[in-house]
A and B are shown apart, each in its own frame.
Chain A
């Protein structure tokens, strides 16, 4: 019996769950931050919202099959890796601009560095599930 292929199957099932979890966590957190105290740290909260959108995009794209969704997932995971590296570095270099943490601050240390590891796992998984052309 052959396993179904595609980004949502096998180990990808668990990967999509972790992405979904971060989409939920980052989305809810950004929603609360933007709704209740946007003026405190607008840059950090907008970054939180952006991170949430990237996680939602990656979750949906990885959960779907087909070459088009594979490419969307590749874009999302790439933005995610660039984002966590850029925001992580910026939050350490300019701590005064990040008075309140985002999911990507300090390379995601507030979330057990999962935000740093997740895009790497995502990109490795996408390499393994690259659709045939």
Chain B
């Protein structure tokens, strides 16, 4: 789709996940800098969805449009849901939830691009 954007999302998500995992090992609850990082990742994901929608309208539609749109929607909702689920718990487990949510993003982006390129099935 847009390789540079996908790479950026993947790198940022993996860095955040590693950061969160370090904080899990240190026994920390999610703190503000980490949450700002997650918010930044969400902002890049929103940009990616906008680019994808523009491409769907102007460029072409992948072989499995429903699956592609499913991954687009999932990429937007994972971090907010993870944050919502984490925030009422003020301990290391909440940070673990944030780490998990960040780890899911690269997988989603990978699958999204595979579907866009017509590789693999549902």
Contacts and interface: CB of A to CB of B under 8 A. Distances in A.
Interface stretch (A32-40, A87-95, A116-124): A32-40
A35 B67 CA distance: 11
Contacts of B82: 17
B85 A13 contact: yes
Contacts of B96: 11, 13-14, 17
Contacts, number: 47
A3 interface: yes
B109 to A, nearest CB: 15
Contacts of B121: 100
A82 interface: no
A9 B74 contact: no
Main SS at interface, chain A: helix
A60 to B, nearest CB: 13
Given A21-B100, A21-B104, A32-B66, A16 B85 contact: yes
Interface in B52-111: 64, 66-67, 70, 74, 81-82, 85-86, 89, 91, 93-94, 96-97, 100-101, 104
Contact of B67 (A11, A21, A32): A32
Given A3-B91, A18-B100, A36-B66, A29 B85 contact: no
B120 to A, nearest CB: 10
Contacts of A83: none
Given A21-B104, A32-B67, 4 more contacts: A13-B85, A13-B93, A17-B85, A17-B101
